[in-house]
Amino acid sequence: MASADSNLQQDFHNLYRDHHGWLQGWLRGKLGNACDAADLTQDTFVRVLRREDTPVLVREPRAYLTHIARHLLIDFFRRADLERAYLADLAQVAIEFHPSPEEKAIVLQALQDIDRMLDGLTAKTRAAWLYSRLDGLTHAEIAALLGVSVPRIRQYLAKASTHAYMLRFGS
């Protein structure tokens, strides 16, 4: 078993050594920022390490790394969009009501968690969840807004809850 672990470590080391610089350059081209590119490069290799289904020897390592990095880029741009929207809304609030940097970070993390939870749900399921959780609307009010029945709203909310549970606790 130790020999297999040693081989996996060596394979990972070779993958990292052979493709780290290339991947970081590719990401720098996409982001226009060397610091963010370095962070996402490291995140890509961390994902490779965490994946149990990673083949010992990847046939097309650059395609494999690019696939993982693209998903990380999507998350990166999503977070940036959320942060810009939050800061734009915050700019409309009087300065004395601005949150502390710590509170701001907590809010941004919560927004990112909510965004990740809603990803993969249908538009109506997302809307139902947001109307219910953020606006506090009743099932009947949500049903009227979305043009569906109250039982359908219950289904949407159950689906959103199941989806959130599965994300948090696994399949």
Cβ–Cβ < 8 Å for 36, 26: no
Angle between helix 150-169 and helix 101-118 axes, rounded to 10 deg? 110
Whether the per-residue pLDDT at 123 is higher than 60: the answer is yes
Percent of the chain scored above 70 by pLDDT? Answer: 92
Residue 132 confidence (pLDDT) above 90: yes
What does the pLDDT look like over 77-111, one tens digit per residue?
888 888 888 888 888 888 888 889 999 899 888 88
Helices (H), the chain: 2-31, 34-50, 61-90, 101-118, 123-133, 139-146, 150-169
Count: domains in the chain: 2
Are the C-beta atoms of 44 and 23 separated by less than 8 Å?
yes
Interhelix angle 123-133/150-169, rounded to 10 degrees, is 90
Assess whether 17 and 83 both reside in one domain: yes
Q: Nearest CA to 25 among 38, 43, 14, 42? A: 38
Residue 25: is its pLDDT beyond 60? yes
> Tell me, what's the pLDDT at 4?
61
The CATH number linked to 130 is 1.10.10.10
* Residue ranges making up the domain that contains 167: 120-171
Mean pLDDT of the chain: 87
pTM for the model stands at: 0.63
Taking residues 33-56, report their average pLDDT.
85
Indicate if 48 and 131 belong to the same structural domain.
no
> Are residues 82 and 125 located together in one domain of the fold?
no
Residues 88, 24, single domain; the answer is yes
pLDDT higher than threshold 80 for residue 45: yes
The CA distance from 152 to 130, in Å, is 15
Residue 56 has a pLDDT of: 52
